[in-house]
Structure 1
Amino acid sequence: MAFGGAGVAGRAVAAGGAYEDVCGVLRRVADHWVGAHGEPGDNGWARATFFSGLMALYRLTGEERSLRYARGWAEQHAYGLKGGVATRHADNQCAGQAYLDLYAVDRDPDQIEAIGESVRRMAAGGERPGGDGDWWWDDALHMAMPPFARLGLLRDDAPYWDKLHRLYTHTARAEGGPGLLDPVTGLWFRDKRFLPGGIVSPAGRPVLWSRGNGWVAGGLVKTLKALPRTAAHVPEYRAALVRLLRAARAVQRGDGFWNVSLADPAHFPGPETSGTAFLAYGTAYALRAGLVPARDFGPVAARAWRGLVTTAVHQDGFLGYVQGTGDRPESGQPVGPGSTADFGVGAFLLAGTELALLARGAEARVTP
């Protein structure tokens, strides 16, 4: 994979903090969350997103405390899924991402038995004829695309990727009507209620939710990381990510954040961490992969990181300004320095690991 321009982008990010500085902030935020949660929590999508970020931090630093905490959480749930192996719900399959991360370390087949069987049943298509409409909301792309991509690689089984693409296509461009991907902007509506003619902001503008678009960016990044470059639909996923990031770049705030409502900055204005972190994650990955020009997107990543670190991260590692659970800008309000959530911390860790790799690449290039 080409990394042209990543050095320039890395230097832009490094201007806001060298590699070790980025790692230090990530450790501080992760340690604060772990220290405040001796009980690691359930295996739903929100906590699973945190553990996806924690395992990314483990891959970056190799520090065993992250691995131990993640392994303890997974063992507490016997590497199972909410709803059991028969579940088709993307939220329930999100835990499989962390289980797959742990499997990459331990190589214990029991760790991925449940997620493997759940995805296999959907790929086989036996239980639900024409069942490609499971991912009816854009969050689902983050929750479930990556397990399909990774299990297809592990099983060397193209039908997993074929099913992934059919599910994705239905979400983006539903048969018989518009899908959730806005063909004009490249941004995504959260679900069909927000399509043109549906729910709008108080000012009458479209509701294009920051975290919803962040979920899409995160799902595309994780899928592209898993798929071989030569896989059939990689160009389409890359193009969708780039279009989303270009649209997001045009509405980034001066302080580096994105508003919760991308099309209406007056709709609950103020910094918000979870959407910003996921969009930063997508931007940093696209820079490292050479999908976007460094001169245009390096500053986007740098601004986002500086904004997150200087505004959202407290001195003790508490991460604030995270919008609570929901499906639109109004959800989980008010958002302020004391509002946090597990999935927001996970998004921050994912973004930071990609940004750290950018910074490390830049430092390597200037080392005598």
Structure 2
Amino acid sequence: MRKLFLLISLFLLYAVEADAWRVFDKVAVKSVMKRVADWQIANPNKGAEHDDLDWTHAALYMGMVDWAELTEKEDADDSYFQWLLRIGKRNHFQVGKWMYHADFIAVGQPFIDLYSKYGNKKMIAPVMARANWVVENPAEVALELDYGKLETLDRWSWCDALFMAPPVYAKLYALTKDKRYLDFLNKEYKATYDHLYDKEEQLFYRDRRYFGKREANGKKVFWGRGNGWVLGGLAEILQALPREEFSRAFYQELFVELATRVAGLQSPDGYWHASLLDPSSYPSPETSATGFIVYALAYGVNEGLLDKKAFMPVIKKGWKALVDAVEPDGKLGYVQPIGADPRKVTRDMTEVYGVGAFLLSGCQIYKMSEK
């Protein structure tokens, strides 16, 4: 009887371990990414807030760039790069209209990446011109977001902005070694950090409107996707800044601190919910927050910035949760709609930025599977 019990225990242990490693099967990871990418391309979002150059699509393109690099390398398939190029060309690689607003320069990130690959100056000229103008004419407003005063959006006064704009300046600095980009990045990022980062909770408020608010359980309000935006942006900055750059240390230390805190807030179902400190009030899965967080954590482990033993169980559970939210046709569900705070989410909800986060995380998971 004892032998039988031991055999059953070993079998169950093997089954659990085998299932955990199937999460990182190269073929499976690549297959689900292709389904998600192809579904999104076949089902473009043409809503009012989904212009080609909008921030929502900027996040999608960033995931598509990583996916395009993977498919070109593995399969000699450049069709995803061609898709990105068609979008850039029909918009003349322009950025959005608002001179200062972070959301309107976000699309410059994938365009810079395309320039790095193809070397066509037309791909980088508009975003460089915009960045140059902002650096030379910095916004002169207080860092206090007020939707009644649109000029307060001229600076990075909400945490999402830390994904949208800072990587642009990091990438331009890496390309040109022009210190103006780096100085501007450091000054404005640290100002936002001082304004929105709760050092006690080690989390970012979405914006100043949430400083005194509380969730139903009495906890402070920290938005899941908002902190996902910050972590994803930090991953992009760290990939751009040279390792020997002195100011990189600030971003790396913040990345590790925030990643460690957020990893400890993963729910048992593998997701990070809309509210980080009151997940029971928002019990539905939320894949945009989860996607950006898994991306950042997987990047951190792949780069040796985060401890593999401590973070791998979190990453495995998070990636499995993301895959579980994909329909057979490739539609990614449980994506919280455009907003600024925790909201209810249902499985039928999807958004292009959620797909971008999924592809970013999937490409880092694929790197893990190679190792």
Instruction: Return the TM-score normalized by structure 1.
Output: 0.87
SS in structure 1 at match of 2:279: coil
Give the match's secondary structure for 1:55: helix
3-state SS, counterpart of residue 290 of structure 1: coil
Q: Is the 8 A contact 2:267 2:279 kept in 1?
A: no
Q: Which moved more, 1:63-72 or 1:214-223?
A: 63-72
Q: Distance between the aligned counterparts of 1:300 and 1:159, measured in 2?
A: 38
Corresponding position of 1:190: 206
One-letter code aligned to 1:143:
M
Map of 2:9 onto structure 1? none
Counterpart residue number, 1:314: 327
Cα distance between partner residues in 2 of 1:229 and 1:187 = 25
Residue 3 of structure 1 corresponds to none
Deviating beyond 6 angstroms after TM superposition, the runs of 4 or more aligned structure 1 residues are: 130-133
Deviation at 1:292, TM superposition (A): 1.3
Aligned residue among 221, 241, 265 for 1:251: 265
Which stretches in structure 1 are left out of the alignment for 5+ residues? 1-10, 174-178, 362-368
Equivalent residue number for residue 135 of structure 2? 123
Q: CA deviation at 1:288?
A: 0.8
Query: What's the CA shift string for 1:257-305, capped at 9, x where partnerless?
Result: 0111001122221210000000001100110111111111011111100
Give the % identical residues.
Answer: 33
Match in the other structure for 1:141: 162
- Structure-to-structure mapping, 1:80-99, within 5 angstroms: 80-83=94-97, 87-99=99-111
Aligned to 2:56: 46
Instruction: State whether residues 276 and 304 of structure 1, in contact with CA within 8 Å, keep that contact through their aligned partners in structure 2.
Output: yes
Q: Do 2:224 and 2:289's aligned partners in 1 also have CA atoms closer than 8 Å?
A: yes
- Which 5+ residue runs of structure 2 have no aligned equivalent? 1-17, 144-153
Amino acid at match of 2:207: D
Q: How many pairs align?
A: 337
Matching of residue 20 in structure 1 with residue 30 in structure 2: no
In the other structure, the counterpart of 1:29 is 36
Q: Contact 1:172–1:180 (CA<8 Å) still a contact in 2? A: yes
Q: Distance in 2 between matches of 1:74 and 1:46?
A: 15
Whether the aligned pair in 2 keeps the contact of 1:13 and 1:359 (CA below 8 Å) is no
Q: Which moved more, 1:336-345 or 1:18-27?
A: 18-27
Structure 1 residue 232, shift from structure 2 partner:
1.9
The equivalent of 1:181 in structure 2 is 197
Following superposition, the deviation at residue 48 of structure 1 comes to: 1.2
For the 8 Å contact 1:53–1:345, the answer to whether it is kept is yes
How far is 1:131 from its partner? 7.9
The verdict on how the C-alpha distance between 1:14 and 1:65 changes in structure 2, with shifts beyond 3 A counting, is farther
Q: Which residue of 1 aligns with 2:365?
A: 355
Higher relative contact order (CA 8 A, sep 6+): 1
Larger Rg: 2
1:340 counterpart residue number: 350
Q: Deviations over 1:205-240 (max 9, x none)?
A: 211000000000011000000000111221111111
Over 3 Å counting, the alpha-carbon distance change for 1:159 and 1:199 in structure 2 is same
Q: Secondary structure at the match of 1:256?
A: coil
CA contact (8 A) 1:12 1:302 kept: no
Displacement of 1:35 in angstroms is 1.2
User: RMSD of the alignment, in Å?
Assistant: 1.9
The answer to whether the 8 A contact 1:13-1:298 is kept is: no
Which range is displaced more, 75-84 or 33-42? Answer: 33-42
In structure 2, the residue matched to 1:59 is 69
Give the superposition deviation at 1:143: 0.3
